[in-house]
Amino acid sequence: MVTGAGGALGTDLVARLTAPDAPPDDSVLAVTRAELDVTDAAAVRAAVHGWAAETAGAGRPVLVNAAAYTAVDRAETDPEAGAAAWAANAEAPGLLAAACAEVGATMVHVSTDYVLGPLPDGARRPLEPDDPTAPAGVYARSKLAGEQAVRAALPDAHHVVRTAWVYGATGANFVRTMARLSRERDTLDVVDDQHGSPTWSADLAVGLVALARSSAPAGTRHAAGGGATTWCGLARAVFEELGADPARVRPCDTASFPRPAPRPAWSVLSDASWRAAGLAPLPPWREALHTAVARHPELLLG
């Protein structure tokens, strides 16, 4: 069962789960936000119990939760949006996990680099799942609360997967925005002091499905594009894919581009926990971007 199936990641998850090479005996139920309000406790319980009853005896049931509120800045400035973020990111995962516990299902829950804090002494190395959490802002706190709710309800049957800087073939994202701005502006100033691991949603979907089908023990893992860059570096890579001059993208610091919600200065994620579970790491971010725009040129239409 995939919740949030209408989003960029959810769309890729469903495509992967129903691909020609998928196990023929897999049964996939994809539910969009319009079909299931994951913040409605009664609706969640009914949907999960109904799914489990329909697939009884078909194998181990796994729910992959790709539903989330991701308007980070709006959650910080608009009280109603902040409440919506808390309902979708903190409370809904707990409702889903409790229902999974009742029917004996495993849950794969997608979380974010935003929950992590700076390393001691300002060290800069890829972040591990057991590194300190220090969420700053409504969105980040809601996502950490969601993680905690899943672990509490399913101590032996959960997979919390943190990822970062996700873009997909559908919906608004940084890659599409940079492509559009390349046609609208002669130069762009883009933040160059925030470091992270850009992640193509299709690659993430492949990884999440592999995890769901694996015998990996319960736990928290990181899965993101390999390597690291800055937002400026990612923007320049988009320009390169367009055949535009990447020098048109000029570096600036975070202070020059203030946003309502604070962003992590360092959110490069380690794949050590992913590899330790016997899972193939996601491709390097630059290679993934090239593949993404080759398969989905509409990304560059902005």
Which residues are catalytic, by number? 139
Tokens of 48: 């999960």
The gap from C-alpha 246 to its chain's centroid, in whole angstroms, comes to: 27
Q: Which residues contact 199 (CB under 8 A, 6 or more apart)?
A: 163, 164, 165, 166, 167, 223, 224, 225, 282, 285, 288
> 166 - beta bridge partners?
199
Q: Are 269 and 114 in contact (CB under 8 A)?
A: no
- Provide the CB-side half-sphere exposure for 222 (13 A, CA): 25
Closest CA to 139 of 182, 86, 180, 199: 86
Q: Taking a C-beta distance cutoff of 8 angstroms, is the pair 235, 178 a contact?
A: yes
Among residues 154, 199, 145, the alpha carbon closest in space to that of 63 is found at 154
229 in Cβ contact with 280 (< 8 Å): no
Note every long-range contact of 138-141, with CB atoms under 8 Å and residues 24 or more positions apart, other chains counting.
138/75, 138/76, 138/82, 138/85, 138/86, 138/261, 139/69, 139/70, 139/72, 139/75, 139/76, 139/85, 139/89, 139/114, 139/261, 140/112, 140/114, 140/115, 140/261, 141/90
